[in-house]
Chains A and B, each alone.
Chain A
Amino acid sequence: DVVMTQSPLSLPVTLGQPASISCRSSQGLIYIDGNTYLIWFQQRPGQSPRRLFYKVSNRDSGVPDRFSAYGSGSDFTLKISRVEAEDVGVYYCMQGTHWPPTFGQGTRLEIK
């Protein structure tokens, strides 16, 4: 299975400051169709996961533009330009290229 490794696992951030989460895969994630199926999710406390980005950097509808995502090959990043209180939760990366789909361990973002 492809191992997805996130860092850091805990991310205390001051309101209004930037935050960055790294996600590395044990194999490259380019699929036979040429796309890279790397997805980012946000899970707020007590809620289901919500998709933020798909195919590395495509922002889902309703996701604030203070969120951005990029990367290639096996190295990916989620950035928040200015953290707000509603961003508290756990962030997961997931690869959907290889079977089985696999998730990172999750990064818990909290307000310092």
Chain B
Amino acid sequence: QVQLVQSGAEVRKPGASVKVSCKASGYTFRDFGISWVRQAPGQGLEWMGWISAYNGHTNYAQTLQDRVTLTTDTSTSTAYMELRSLRSDDTAFYYCARDRMTVLVGSHFDYWGQGTLITVSS
């Protein structure tokens, strides 16, 4: 069965960076992409960016594109999200979700990771 398993909770100070992993299993990793979505405590869902596991193409939310980098390691079927220059309002649950392979089709978001809580506090 399809599973996305994310790395554990992290605490960072303002200005630091964090890298979250999302290990996929149960499907051919390169046949899909991964989107990252975050959710601040008690708030709604915010799309952060997408990466194709097929060709590495990316697309980022305009509000985050200067601070976020998405990568994949096809040898381990793992996607990564790095967020830099952390601020207190980056405190949120971060989710990976299986998504489209290319921009030629629409979004899937059919399977989600369990979420990773990132806390930014001095």
Residues of A bordering B, CB below 8 Å:
31-33, 35, 37, 39, 41, 48-51, 54-55, 60, 92, 94, 96-97, 99-106
Contacts and interface: CB of A to CB of B under 8 A. Distances in A.
A49 B114 CA distance: 9
Interface residues of B, number: 26
B112 to A, nearest CB: 4
B56 interface: no
25 contacts: A31-B106, A33-B104, A33-B105, A33-B106, A39-B107, A39-B109, A41-B109, A48-B112, A48-B114, A49-B45, A50-B112, A51-B109, A51-B110, A55-B106, A94-B45, A94-B107, A96-B100, A96-B107, A96-B109, A97-B106, A99-B103, A101-B50, A101-B109, A103-B46, A106-B45
Contacts of B104: 32-33
Identify whether the interface residues of A are mostly helix, strand, loop, or mixed.
loop
Nearest to B100: A96
